């Protein structure tokens, strides 16, 4: 397959490395020192005590790569709006676009089937232009349960997990999703088609919207959070509120709060993404991870006092990072 990874950072780097290792034709969109390192030295993957290097085409402009079979969008959510119009050169009639991103995706209500079907999520798409920038018919939903970091430019370290869940926005089983999942599994992913990708989005999101801002505000590793009864009590309350919001949109989370916390425990001593971003003074994915849930709660008339309080704090923290 011809595969382009847009945003070849931590998760994008894993995607690029695993597909390259399997012999696919991989290109990557990156920028800055990371791009220069990819051009000069290839992509280095650190995993399981081994170091592997994969030469690949890299650029800050996707226009020169030509039409692809699959485009993985692995950007921070605040970078998506500017990039989507630039992907047109990569798209043929059958090109799959897989947003492997955190939080609630901008396309959430595309073919969702409920009373808000086809609407934008305002905090993610305030101008209402993202569906125009990328025809959503190309989109396959994706939820990632893997962790990685970029210790230096051109280098990606795989730290946990390799599960990628793929699903059509309209919940159908499709031949294109089946082909992609088969290629991913042959390349070393643990991929499967989800029966309902929105359920999987919420399963991950209830963890992200609680752990990420708490970790960023407290500068706490996952082990620190799990060792604090006070922080765990906060996590539980936020998850309970988020599960009520999901239920208002017809999504039943197929596990209890404590079962979801047990999944998070598997990340052991990890420093999760928003914590890393605070330390490096990078923009935070506040809206996709927390603000979008607040927006959906207001639409549905669901009270979320604990999420609202944490949202106010992390939004203010994010504002000060820009100074």
Q: Report how far residue 136's alpha carbon sits from residue 22's, in angstroms, rounded to the nearest whole number.
A: 28
Rounded Cα distance between 304 and 323, Å, is: 30
Residue for token pair 């106010």: 312
Ramachandran sector of residue 113 (left: φ over 0; alpha: ψ -120 to 50; beta: rest):
left
**DSSP-assigned beta bridge partners for residue 9:** none
What does the pLDDT read at residue 214?
97
Phi (first) and psi of residue 102, to 5 degrees: -85, 155
Q: What is the DSSP string of 171-229?
A: ----HHHHHHHHHHHHTT-EEEE-S-HHHHHHHHHHHHHHHHHHHHHHT--HHHHHT-H
Residue with tokens 């504002």: 319
Angle at 80 between CA 68 and CA 91, to 5 degrees: 20
Count CB atoms within 10 A of the CB of residue 160.
Answer: 12
Report the candidate in 95, 209, 205, 70 with the shortest Cα–Cα distance to residue 144: 205
Q: What is the pLDDT of residues 88-143, one digit of tens each?
A: 999 999 999 999 999 999 999 999 999 999 999 999 999 889 999 999 999 999 99
CA gap 147, 240 in Å, rounded: 25
DSSP type of residue 256: -
In whole angstroms, what is the distance from residue 101 CA to residue 288 CA?
9
Q: Which CATH architecture has domain 199-321?
A: Orthogonal Bundle (1.10)
Distance (Å, rounded) from C-alpha 323 to C-alpha 308? 24
Q: Determine whether 88 is an active site residue.
A: no
Indicate the domain borders of the chain.
2-195, 199-321
Show the beta-strand stretches assigned E in the chain.
Answer: 2-6, 25-29, 43-47, 50-54, 57-59, 70-73, 96-99, 141-152, 155-167, 190-193
Superfamily of domain 2-195: NAD(P)-binding Rossmann-like Domain (3.40.50.720)
Tell me how far apart the alpha carbons of residues 262 and 276 are, in angstroms, rounded to a whole number: 22
pTM, two decimals, is: 0.94
pLDDT of residue 273: 84
Confirm whether 2-195 and 199-321 share one CATH topology.
no
Local structure of residue 284 (DSSP, 8 states):
P
- In 3D space, the residue among 189, 304, 287 whose CA is nearest the CA of residue 244 turns out to be 304
Q: Which helix (H) or strand (E) holds 33?
A: helix 32-41
Q: Which of 88, 137, 204, 280 is catalytic?
A: 204
| Alpha-carbon gap, residue 246 to 224, rounded angstroms | 28
pLDDT at residue 323, as a whole number: 62
Per-residue pLDDT of the chain (323 residues; tens, 9 = 90+): 999 999 999 999 999 999 999 999 999 999 999 999 999 999 999 999 999 999 999 999 999 999 999 999 999 988 999 999 999 999 999 999 999 999 999 999 999 999 999 999 999 999 889 999 999 999 999 999 998 889 999 999 998 889 999 999 999 999 999 999 999 999 999 999 999 999 999 999 999 999 999 999 999 999 999 999 999 999 999 999 999 999 999 999 999 999 999 999 887 777 888 998 999 899 999 999 999 999 999 999 999 999 999 999 999 999 988 76
- Rounded to an integer, what distance in angstroms lies between the CA atom of residue 124 and that of residue 126? 6
Cβ distance 113 to 131 under 8 Å? no
d(C-alpha 182, C-alpha 193), whole Å: 10
CB 90 within 8 A of CB 65: yes
Contact 16, 56 (CB under 8 A): yes
What are 108's two structure tokens? 């959430």
Q: What is the pLDDT of residue 230?
A: 97
């Amino acid at each position: 397959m011809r595969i382009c990874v847009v945003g070849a950072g931590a998760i994008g780097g894993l995607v690029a490395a695993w597909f390259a290792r399997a012999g696919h034709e991989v290109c990557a969109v990156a920028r800055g020192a990371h791009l220069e390192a990819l051009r000069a030295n290839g992509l280095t993957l650190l995993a399981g005590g081994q170091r592997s290097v994969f030469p690949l085409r890299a650029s800050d402009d996707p226009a020169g790569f030509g039409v692809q079979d699959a485009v993985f969008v692995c950007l921070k959510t605040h970078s998506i709006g500017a990039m989507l119009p630039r992907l047109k050169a990569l798209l043929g009639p059958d090109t799959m676009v897989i947003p492997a991103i955190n939080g609630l995706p901008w396309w959430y209500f595309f073919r969702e089937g409920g009373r808000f079907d086809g609407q934008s999520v305002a905090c993610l798409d305030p101008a209402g232009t993202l569906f125009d920038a990328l025809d959503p018919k190309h989109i396959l939903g994706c939820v990632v349960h893997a962790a990685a970091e970029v210790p230096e430019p051109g280098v990606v370290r795989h730290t946990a997990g390799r599960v990628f869940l793929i699903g059509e926005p309209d919940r159908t089983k499709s031949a294109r999703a089946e082909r992609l999942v088969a290629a991913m599994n042959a390349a070393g992913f643990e991929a499967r088609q989800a029966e309902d990708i929105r359920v999987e989005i919420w399963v991950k999101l209830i963890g992200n919207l609680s752990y990420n801002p708490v970790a960023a505000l407290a500068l706490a590793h996952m082990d620190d959070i799990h060792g604090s009864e006070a922080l765990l009590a906060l996590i539980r309350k936020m998850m309970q509120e988020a599960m009520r919001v999901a239920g208002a949109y017809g999504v039943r989370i197929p596990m209890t709060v404590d079962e979801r916390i047990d999944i998070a425990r598997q990340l052991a001593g990890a420093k999760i993404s928003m914590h890393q971003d605070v330390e490096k003074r990078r923009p935070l994915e506040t809206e996709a991870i927390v603000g979008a849930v607040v927006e959906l709660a207001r639409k549905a008339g669901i009270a979320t006092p604990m999420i609202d309080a944490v949202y106010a704090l992390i939004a203010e923290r994010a504002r000060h990072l820009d100074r």
